[in-house]
Structure 1
Amino acid sequence: MFDSTWRRWSWRAGTASALAVALFAVGSPAGAQETVDLADVFNPLVVKALQGADISTELTPLGLSSDDPWFDEPEIEPGTAPGTLLKARPVSVQVYQVRPDVVSAHQLMYTTTDHFGRQVISTGILMIPEDGTAPGDRKIIGYAEANDSLGANCAPSHQWTGGNQSDPAMFSALGPVAQMFGHGWAVMMSDVGNDGDTAPHPFSIGQFSGKATLDGVRAALALPEAGLESGTPVGIYGVAGGGVAAGFAAEQAHDYAPELNVQASAIQAMMIDPATFEETAAGGIGSGFVFSSILGFDAGYPGVRLDDHLTPIGHNVAAAFRASCQALYLGLPFVPFDVLLTNPAPRTIPALAAAYADNTLGKQAPASKLLISSCEDDFLVPFSEAEQLAQTYRADGGDVDLLPSQCGPLDYVTNLYKTVTDQLGMQDIAWLAKTFDEAEGK
């Protein structure tokens, strides 16, 4: 009895600590309230979840494995609409072995459209806080997680059911998801493809991930058990790699999914122009992620034929990356591209250059109100690109807020709380809530 009670308490404490570490919130300085109030993160629902959570054991399967027959794709009738719900099953949310009893979840399989206009299948996970919010009052967020992984068993469906718990994408999402649950919002995360597919995933292709995000929301609204109404207010949200998907979803929503009631979109720290990202970040601290991004384009655009341009070392690294989740990519900082590629500037490969151009943000202004949040000292994505994107959207009639933040070395010393919560995109949640209220005339 004592051992069971102690284990339950220790895992609750561990999960709360993980969330706190995700915020670096060992203590918030006086000015931190302007960014995120800790009470918005450890809100009543989250506290209740930690108090009543079940603790999984070593006998509990971790995550929804790709060899599960559920991932087998059914035959689709020609003309089936994008976002059609093909199958669904209830699942248990599990984070660091803690299963909150105040969040219901379903894994969904649905139709979507890839970057060539072909009908394909994606999976995803829908999570809904059980907080008593009436169906007519609930919002839903198309949450494009910063899941920059090529391998199978890496996507949100796997992470949020107990698998791939070391993934930085899930870790960085803990704070924003907790805030969203505190508002009573449903959260739909697309796997951007079938998570049961063991082929390398084209995660970096915004023309695909944007549509997969929108179709995930469509499928969530079609799930009877979710109780969501067709006119439910929709928000789009994404940071870093997820910001690419969210940005394209925001651009595409008006034409691709006009029936969705998209009211607000927030994107942060995203790759705006893949060619500029490669030129800026290759060989630096983000070298591994640039290489993985190129592998993602290669997976989605067969004409790139990246293997023809790899060195022997590059072949070995590519093989490892294609079968792995993104935590591995962190282990390749500062590697010069001439070690990996016979052409150290792959953006000059014609097929890759064309793919980059097709997946550069700024093709049309989102119809919904948009927040672009970016760090003025970002060494991976220049802030000037975020400024230019905002100007491009505004010139096209877009309603855009640009929110700069600081992330320089001194900022981490002088205001750690604000700097880290800003980098996690947590300040964007208050903007989403405010924009929802404005749309309702509050």
Structure 2
Amino acid sequence: MDVPRTFLARSIGYAAAALLVATATATAGAPAVAEPADAPVENGGLLRSVKTDLLAGAIPTGVKATSVTYRSSDTRGKPVATTGIVMVPASKWTGRGPRPLVTYAVGTHGSDPSCRPSQLLTRGLTTDRSGVPMIELQLLDVASLLTRGFAVTMTDFQGTEAPGRLPYLQPIPQAHAVLDAARAAISVGAVDRRAPVGIWGYSQGGGAAAAAAEQAKSYAPELNIRGSVVGAPPTNPARTMMFNEGKLSAGVIGYFVNGVRAEYPQLAPKIDAKLNSQGRDFLRKTAGECLVGSVVGHYFRSTKGMTVSGRPLIEELASDPEINSVFQSFVMGRTAPSHPVLLMQNVNDDVVPADDANATADAWKRGGTNVARANINTPSLPPIGAPGHAVGLVTGNIAVNWLAGRLTQ
């Protein structure tokens, strides 16, 4: 029997959410909201900060949290207000030197404002515009870092103040958001300005961490970055989107196209001309969805029925030279990071092509970067867009141990 997608979406979402809500409490502090980005502060400077409460039972006790709005800059260097959250253990740091800071970039959460990790870490449960609940999926990583005594800062990424504005997988705005989140943590007094800094991300966050590692020396040279953990990074975003065609994760294609339309408005007419009514509806829906809602709303969906030509959406868009030029500008590996990097990648990843991640790491090594690899060798799983990728979410201890070795020397 066919189960309607809307019923399935709500059932799965609420069942997952119940696991977290059972140990969550309401928050006392309000999350930071957007402020004018042209305020007289530097990138990473605070526009607003609010003390807030974290989830009870999900984050170690004795952690102080602050929701922040800070200044960052977009692809063209234009100031943009960006939100996030800074967390610091209340206990005194007893390790060598000042308390370390990790700027943590989350994996794909979605394109709706309700998907922001700063909200999920404080509210426990949000609901996107499709009516599907969303919970924070990377609590274990955050808890592991805080248990080690590290301060943690998490960006919500740019463009999350309105549906469909997220520059999904775009290296420049994602790198700026991650690096400026570290600056914001220093600005709010979470750590000393000389504190050792680590960068860590997986999936979308892995791409953001890779981009931040590449751009750190030129964009944020004052940060004392000791190492970056780059997990399953989509270093060739357009190819990654093609790789997700017809899979469980097909909804992320909508995030990507919406993000290109938002960050490159001059391309919007060309993109729109290639879409039929199904394509326009796909972009409209995914603009207001979080990851859970997109999976259950668009699972195994082909985008061939969304274009006027009948070709898959990303393939059709890439046929336009101007659009393809933008796609190619997103490819990473042209700038070698100036600090050590750990690449974590499942060789049988069914969401992010392992070949792209490995090609980027090889390019970095040729450029002089100290690159270590932690290959996750699972058996070959059905390439449906989930199991081969999700396995990387339970290998956080490798990342934490590697970071600890560099941040506490």
TM-score, shorter chain, exceeding 0.5: yes
Query: Which consecutive residues of structure 1, in runs of 5 or more, have no partner in the other structure?
Result: 1-13, 20-49
Give the superposition deviation at 1:160.
0.8
Partner of residue 11, structure 1 = none
Distance of aligned partners of 1:313 and 1:421 in 2 relative to their CA distance in 1, 3 Å threshold: closer
Distance of aligned partners of 1:298 and 1:425 in 2 relative to their CA distance in 1, 3 Å threshold: farther
Is residue 397 from structure 1 mapped to residue 397 from structure 2 by the alignment?
A: no
| Contact 1:269–1:381 (Cα < 8 Å) also in 2 | yes
| Contact 1:243–1:269 (Cα < 8 Å) also in 2 | yes
TM-score by length of 1: 0.77
Partner of residue 103, structure 2 = 142
Provide the identity percentage. 26
Is residue 167 from structure 1 mapped to residue 134 from structure 2 by the alignment?
A: yes
Partner of residue 234, structure 1 = 197
Give the superposition deviation at 1:326.
2.0
Partner of residue 327, structure 2 = 356
Partner of residue 321, structure 1 = 286
Distance of aligned partners of 1:62 and 1:198 in 2 relative to their CA distance in 1, 3 Å threshold: farther
Partner of residue 10, structure 1 = none
Partner of residue 153, structure 2 = 188
Residue deviations 1:227-285 (CA, integer Å, cap 9, x gap): x1101000000000111111111111111100000001001112111232133222233
Whose Rg is larger?
1
Residue deviations 1:374-411 (CA, integer Å, cap 9, x gap): 11111232222222111100111111012211233579
Residue deviations 1:28-54 (CA, integer Å, cap 9, x gap): xxxxxxxxxxxxxxxxxxxxxx9xx8x
| Contact 1:95–1:160 (Cα < 8 Å) also in 2 | no
Give the superposition deviation at 1:351.
3.6
Give the match's secondary structure for 1:407: coil
| Contact 1:63–1:158 (Cα < 8 Å) also in 2 | no
Structure-to-structure mapping, 1:196-215, within 5 angstroms: 196-198=161-163, 200-215=165-180
Give the superposition deviation at 1:334.
2.2
| Aligned partner of 1:341 among 307, 314, 329 | 307
Distance of aligned partners of 1:61 and 1:187 in 2 relative to their CA distance in 1, 3 Å threshold: closer
Partner of residue 90, structure 2 = 130
1:312 aligned partner, one-letter code: S
Distance in 2, matches of 1:329 and 1:62, equals: 30
1:340 aligned partner, one-letter code: M
Partner of residue 383, structure 1 = 354
Partner of residue 115, structure 2 = 154
Aligned Cα RMSD in Å? 3.0
Partner of residue 76, structure 1 = 38
Residue deviations 1:10-29 (CA, integer Å, cap 9, x gap): xxxx99x958xxxxxxxxxx
Distance in 2, matches of 1:275 and 1:236, equals: 24
Distance of aligned partners of 1:75 and 1:269 in 2 relative to their CA distance in 1, 3 Å threshold: closer
| Contact 2:234–2:352 (Cα < 8 Å) also in 1 | yes
Give the match's secondary structure for 2:115: coil
Give the superposition deviation at 1:77.
4.6
Residue deviations 1:134-176 (CA, integer Å, cap 9, x gap): 59531111100113421112111211111545536x22x1221
Partner of residue 178, structure 1 = 143
Which structure shows the higher helix fraction? Answer: 1
Distance in 2, matches of 1:371 and 1:321, equals: 32
| Contact 1:202–1:296 (Cα < 8 Å) also in 2 | yes
Partner of residue 118, structure 1 = 78
Partner of residue 28, structure 1 = none
2:220 aligned partner, one-letter code: A
| Contact 1:62–1:162 (Cα < 8 Å) also in 2 | no
TM-score by length of 2: 0.82
